[in-house]
C-alpha cells in the first residue's frame, strides 16, 4: 500500500485506527482504505453514525463555550483525534482571547496532522501520549509549558473513554487526571451507549464487533456506568444526558433521532 506524504513512517497501514475512522465519518481525508472499510461495515449496522459524531462535536463546542463563560481559559483535550473544522482551540479562542489548549492523542496520524495545523500557534500544542498513562500526559512538555495546573482547567474526554476496556482501568485514569486539577476545573465528557437511544443492542454489538479489529475496541456503557466517571465532580445541570439535550442551541426535537445515541455531561471539581 502506498504511504501518503502526510502519513508518519512506521504506522501499520493494515490496522484500522479509531481516530482515522472518526475522521472518515466526519468527511475528512486523513484515513486509509483499511479505515474506510471498517467504517463502511459499522455504517451497515448503524447508517446514522456520522450524525452521532456530529452531535459529539456540537456538544463539545457548546461545552467549551460554557467553560469559557465560567472563566476557564485552559483546555486539555485528551483523545483529540485528527483536527477538523471547529476544533477546541478555535472555539475557545473565539470565546476568550486568553485561551490555551493542549491536545493529546496516541495516534501518530492525529499527532502529526495536529502539529501541522498548529505550526506557529503559540497558544495551542499537541502531545503524543495515552489516556491509559495519565502521568505521561501531565508531565508532557506541552502541558507543563502551556497550562498552569494550579488554576482551573477544562479536561475534555470526548468520545474517548469508550475505547478503554475495564482492563485498562479507565476510572483510575480519570481519577488521576482529576486529582491533578485545581478546584473549579471541569470534566467535559461523552461516551457511547445504546441505552435510551433508537439503536438496538444488536446494532451496538455489531459496531463493537467492527472495532475489535481496530486499534482500540469499543465498549458501550450504561448511563449509570458513565456517571461513575464523574466521581469527585459536582454535576453541572442538566447532568448526564443524551448528546443533543446538554444545553442545546436549538430545539432538540429538530435533531435526527439517532443523534440521541450516547451520553454527554459536564462536572465541576469542588
- Look at residue 204 in the predicted model and tell me its pLDDT: 94
Residue ranges of domains in the chain: 50-198+217-268
Cell of 151: 488554576
Least trusted range by pLDDT, from 28-37, 164-173, 175-184, 257-266: 28-37
For residue 2, is pLDDT > 70?
no
Distance CA 183, CA 236 (A): 14
- Name residue, grid cell 446514522: 48
pTM comes to 0.94
Contact 130, 136 (CB under 8 A): yes
- Look at residue 7 in the predicted model and tell me its pLDDT: 66
CB atoms within 10 A of CB 116: 11
pLDDT (tens digit, 9 = 90+) per residue, 123-166? 999 999 999 999 999 999 999 999 999 999 999 999 999 999 99
Distance CA 68, CA 75 (A): 10
Q: What angle do CA 93, 99, 101 make, to 5 degrees?
A: 100
Percent of the chain that is helix, strand, coil (3-state, to 5): 45, 15, 45
* Mean of the per-residue pLDDT values of the chain: 94
| 204 bridge partner residues | none
- Look at residue 205 in the predicted model and tell me its pLDDT: 95
- Start-to-end CA distance of the chain, whole Å, equals 51
Q: Which CATH architecture has domain 50-198+217-268?
A: 3-Layer(aba) Sandwich (3.40)
- Look at residue 13 in the predicted model and tell me its pLDDT: 77
When pLDDT is averaged across residues 186-203 and rounded to a whole number, the result is: 95
- Look at residue 78 in the predicted model and tell me its pLDDT: 98
Cell of 41: 461495515
- Look at residue 6 in the predicted model and tell me its pLDDT: 64
When pLDDT is averaged across residues 113-125 and rounded to a whole number, the result is: 92
For residue 266, is pLDDT > 70?
yes
- Look at residue 85 in the predicted model and tell me its pLDDT: 75
Cell of 12: 501499520
Give backbone dihedrals phi and psi of 188, rounded to 5 degrees, phi first.
-115, 120
CA atoms within 13 A on the CB side of 117: 21
- Look at residue 127 in the predicted model and tell me its pLDDT: 98
Contact 262, 192 (CB under 8 A): yes
Q: By percentage, how much of the chain surpasses pLDDT 70? A: 96
- Look at residue 109 in the predicted model and tell me its pLDDT: 87
pLDDT (tens digit, 9 = 90+) per residue, 4-54? 666 666 677 788 999 999 999 999 988 989 999 999 999 999 999 999 999
List the one residue out of 256, 238, 235 whose CA is nearest residue 247: 238
Least trusted range by pLDDT, from 6-15, 177-186, 208-217: 6-15
By the 10 Å C-beta count (0-12 exposed, 13-18 middle, 19+ buried), 141 is classed as exposed
- Look at residue 52 in the predicted model and tell me its pLDDT: 95
Amino acid at each position: 500500500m502506498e504511504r501518503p506524504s502526510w502519513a508518519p513512517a512506521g504506522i501499520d497501514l493494515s490496522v484500522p485506527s479509531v481516530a482515522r475512522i472518526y475522521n472518515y465519518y466526519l468527511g475528512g481525508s486523513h484515513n486509509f482504505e483499511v479505515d474506510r472499510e471498517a467504517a463502511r461495515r459499522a455504517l451497515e449496522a448503524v447508517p446514522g453514525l456520522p450524525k452521532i459524531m456530529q452531535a459529539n462535536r456540537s456538544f463539545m463546542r457548546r461545552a467549551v463555550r460554557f467553560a469559557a463563560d465560567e472563566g476557564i481559559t485552559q483546555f486539555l483535550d485528551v483523545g483529540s483525534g485528527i483536527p477538523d473544522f471547529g476544533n477546541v482551540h478555535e472555539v475557545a479562542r473565539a470565546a476568550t482571547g486568553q485561551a490555551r489548549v493542549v491536545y493529546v492523542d496516541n495516534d501518530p496520524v492525529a499527532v502529526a496532522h495536529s502539529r501541522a495545523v498548529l505550526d506557529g500557534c503559540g497558544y495551542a500544542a499537541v502531545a503524543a501520549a495515552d489516556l491509559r498513562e495519565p502521568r505521561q500526559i501531565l508531565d508532557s512538555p506541552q502541558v507543563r509549558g502551556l497550562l498552569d495546573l494550579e488554576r482551573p482547567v477544562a479536561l475534555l474526554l470526548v468520545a474517548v473513554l469508550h475505547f478503554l476496556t475495564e482492563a485498562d482501568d479507565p476510572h483510575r485514569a480519570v481519577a488521576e487526571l482529576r486529582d491533578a486539577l485545581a478546584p473549579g476545573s471541569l470534566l467535559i465528557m461523552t461516551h457511547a451507549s445504546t441505552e435510551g437511544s433508537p439503536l438496538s443492542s444488536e446494532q451496538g454489538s455489531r459496531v463493537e464487533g467492527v472495532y475489535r479489529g481496530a486499534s482500540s475496541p469499543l465498549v458501550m456503557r450504561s448511563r449509570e456506568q458513565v456517571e461513575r466517571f464523574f466521581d469527585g465532580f459536582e454535576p453541572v445541570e442538566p447532568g448526564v444526558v443524551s448528546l443533543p439535550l446538554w444545553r442545546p442551541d436549538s430545539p432538540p426535537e429538530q435533531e435526527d433521532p439517532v443523534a440521541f445515541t450516547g451520553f454527554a455531561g459536564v462536572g465541576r471539581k469542588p
